[in-house]
Structure 1
């Protein structure tokens, strides 16, 4: 029974872009700026700029980009890779990210951006739930 739940809790999606038009951009730490797995924007073709700002959106056309499969929950939620997590900071980061990528904000966008938004939002939810609970956080750390 627990193996199924643990497997779901430890699932890593891997998504990431950079800032929604007319929305405040998030500041990211150095771990969050490690680079983007996608070399160019799917929408405008502009080359990616690893390490520049937040990786959710294209810096040129501001289109939501696909999730980064190399990003882990700790870097996504801007936390140290440690069992000790500041849950207040975690909750604040969760709310910030959902304001950026929640599907409700993409209802008038292209189908591709809607799908990326759903994937990002799901990843943020999974990361938050996993890191919030001590047991799932510990399991995620050892995986």
Structure 2
């Protein structure tokens, strides 16, 4: 789609995005067939959940559904602590929005558009929550298990 590369991810700073922070992307969508192996909703391929952030399928590059159990700290690549490096947080926020913002999915399937909106909303919520000390503290307190 972008720059003549069909199925490619957006280009940022002269580089084709292949994942977050230079890691390989992977599938994180749970199989609809009832087993525990992760499968891409689009191609049915399975990915390595250990590597990458799970935003895109490594085989077909389709955006995968967000993981509703993922906490804000892991999403924003921050230590689970009251002290947060806000410059790093802002950088991560911008990086994630360049990957999942709905504007980059206008020519994709409706499923990917929907996943993009959900990812973008989760990223916005995580950023706003972790940026403000009061909401960050409340989030930490409420997420303790």
Q: 2: CA distance between counterparts of 1:122 and 1:130?
A: 12
Where 1:142 maps in the other structure, the secondary structure is helix
Q: What's the TM-score, normalizing by structure 1?
A: 0.78
Give the total of aligned pairs. 121
Range with bigger deviation, 130-139 or 35-44:
35-44
- Is 1:120 the counterpart of 2:119 in the alignment? yes
- Please state how far the C-alpha of 1:47 moved relative to its aligned partner: 1.3
Greater helix percent: which structure?
Answer: 1
Residue 5 of structure 2 is matched in structure 1 by none
Structure 2 gap ranges (5+)? 1-7, 31-37
RMSD: 2.1
Matched, 1:26 2:20: yes
Deviation per residue, 1:26-77 (Å, 9 max, x gap)? 1279xxx9x9352100000001321122310000000000001221000000
Between the aligned partners of 1:21 and 1:46, the Cα distance in structure 2 is: 22
| Higher Cα radius of gyration | 2
| Higher RCO (CA < 8 A, seq sep 6+) | 1
1:132 matched to 2:131? The reply is yes
- Which runs of 5 or more residues in structure 1 are unaligned? 1-18
